[in-house]
Chains A and B, each alone.
Chain A
Amino acid sequence: MALKMTYNVDMCFCIDATGSMGPVISKVKENAISFYQDVTREMERKQKSLDHMRVRVIVFRDYVADEEPMMVSRFFDLPAQAVQFEACINSIEANGGGDEPEDGLEALAYAIRSDWTKEGTKRRNIIVVWTDASTHAIGYAKEQPKYPKGMPADFNELTKWWGDSQMEPYIKNAAKRLVLFAPDAPYWKQITSTWNNVIHYPSTAGKGLQEYTYKEIVDAICNSI
């Protein structure tokens, strides 16, 4: 009998919540309550099991155009806090955004700096970015009043935050995974080609990730574990 691997999984969803993302946000809302079961079932098929799972959400838009350009939740333990997680997801509304690029790299920076679990021997720290837009360069909006201090100054510094096999300042190299549902656009392309542990599922700009079904999204996340 094959041994099952047991994982402690933390997930951080970075969700572009500008207007065009309505379709995929609706999809996520419909399935939020069953997300844990869906992931567990898929993991079982792969002879893996979850010892512990937590999920948090970062909602991002545009620091220049939006009143709430970056909002973050705490981690929810699943399945114990599935109802709260569902309420959290259901409170998200797709609106706003100014120009086409959004501030996805700042969301990614916050995600990297999540308070990742330190428990368990087989850990997975998975960041899932969902956007149908390109991204501004990091720091593009640094003059805006809500822009935080401590952000990476440029893409190179953000790359250092992600780390590699030699350097892991904020997220363990063996544990980290980045699942990118994003257009094939600048910075997303660089991330795919230069960062390790990245899986890119290209999305069509402005189409709200309609090309992916919920099952495909769950499969993609589970494939990264």
Chain B
Amino acid sequence: MFCRKCGAELRTGARFCGKCGTPAPAGSTAGKAAGTGTGAVKKPEEETVHIFSSSASETRTDTAKTETRKEPVREEKSPELIIHMPETRTSSSNGQFNEWFSEPGDL
């Protein structure tokens, strides 16, 4: 699976492209909430990061759970596996944008 925005290869189970932050298509993640698949991160409340091992296909059977990894993943994994959750796009920053902008409606 490749990022539809920048073309970077997406890791199995990645919810976002590690290079440009574009949400991955729904089919690339197991257990992703029915979502938009669009550029906007609409669920900032999902703060738990689901890390799927690329070699552990058995994790797909537990997609509803938050898996706690025993080994220190971050030190071993390349930057691409650090899921890009743009922290600035909290509900407050979305709220700020929506304070100034609105959908324009019909012409």
Contacts and interface: CB of A to CB of B under 8 A. Distances in A.
A110 B104 contact: yes
Interface string A149-165: 11100000000000000
Interface residues of A, number: 34
Q: List 8 tightest A-B contacts by C-beta distance, closest first.
A: A96-B39, A150-B107, A88-B100, A71-B101, A67-B40, A91-B97, A149-B106, A67-B38
Contacts of B103: 68, 70-72, 146
Interface string B79-107: 00000001011000100110111111111
Interface of A: 18-19, 57-59, 61, 65-68, 70-73, 84, 87-88, 90-93, 95-99, 109-110, 113, 146, 148-151
Contact of B39 (A19, A90, A110): A19
B44 to A, nearest CB: 12
Nearest to B40: A67
19 contacts: A61-B39, A66-B39, A68-B40, A71-B103, A87-B100, A88-B101, A91-B96, A91-B101, A92-B97, A95-B21, A95-B41, A95-B86, A96-B5, A97-B39, A98-B4, A99-B4, A110-B107, A146-B103, A148-B104
B39 to A, nearest CB: 2
Nearest to B99: A91
Nearest to A92: B97
Contacts of A148: 104-107
A143 to B, nearest CB: 16
